[in-house]
């Protein structure tokens, strides 16, 4: 099973521990500007990003959360990775492979 709970779940005390040791955690890393662009129009429905500059807000959230994200088993830079390649890599990592 793949569970993609969104960025903020990890900031809730105890959530990370609920997944350990059963789950393989993969941090899908991208720059704040890329993340905001991927959200598109949906960014307006995100209260934490609905301030003056969503990219600055995303950068602040990432700065606060990244130490938690880095506790993942794997980190994959998704900045320019096509979705089919990302899917293949996630399957490989989840079955014992290593990231490129």
Residues with Cβ within 8 Å of residue 30, at least 6 apart in sequence: 38, 77, 78, 79
- Does domain 24-94 sit in CATH 1.10.3720.10? no
pLDDT < 50: residue spans in the chain: none
Please state, in angstroms and rounded to a whole number, the distance separating the CA atoms of residues 73 and 96: 11
What pLDDT does 58 receive? 93
What pLDDT does 87 receive? 92
Domain regions of the chain by residue span: 24-94
What pLDDT does 37 receive? 93
Please state, in angstroms and rounded to a whole number, the distance separating the CA atoms of residues 14 and 70: 16
What pLDDT does 100 receive? 54
Q: Is 14 left (phi over 0), alpha (psi -120 to 50) or beta?
A: left
What pLDDT does 36 receive? 93
Q: Tell the residue number behind the tokens 């779940």, with chain if given.
A: 9
7-28 pLDDT, tens digit per residue, is 788 888 888 888 887 888 899 9
């Amino acid at each position: 099973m793949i569970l993609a709970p969104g960025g903020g779940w990890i900031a809730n005390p105890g959530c990370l521990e609920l997944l350990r040791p059963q789950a393989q955690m993969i941090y899908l890393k991208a720059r704040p500007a890329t993340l905001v662009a991927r959200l598109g129009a949906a960014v307006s429905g995100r209260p934490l990003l609905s301030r003056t500059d969503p990219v600055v807000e995303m950068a602040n959230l990432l700065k606060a959360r990244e130490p938690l994200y880095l506790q993942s088993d794997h980190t994959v830079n998704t900045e320019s990775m096509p979705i089919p390649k990302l899917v293949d890599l996630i399957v490989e990592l989840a079955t014992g492979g290593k990231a490129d």
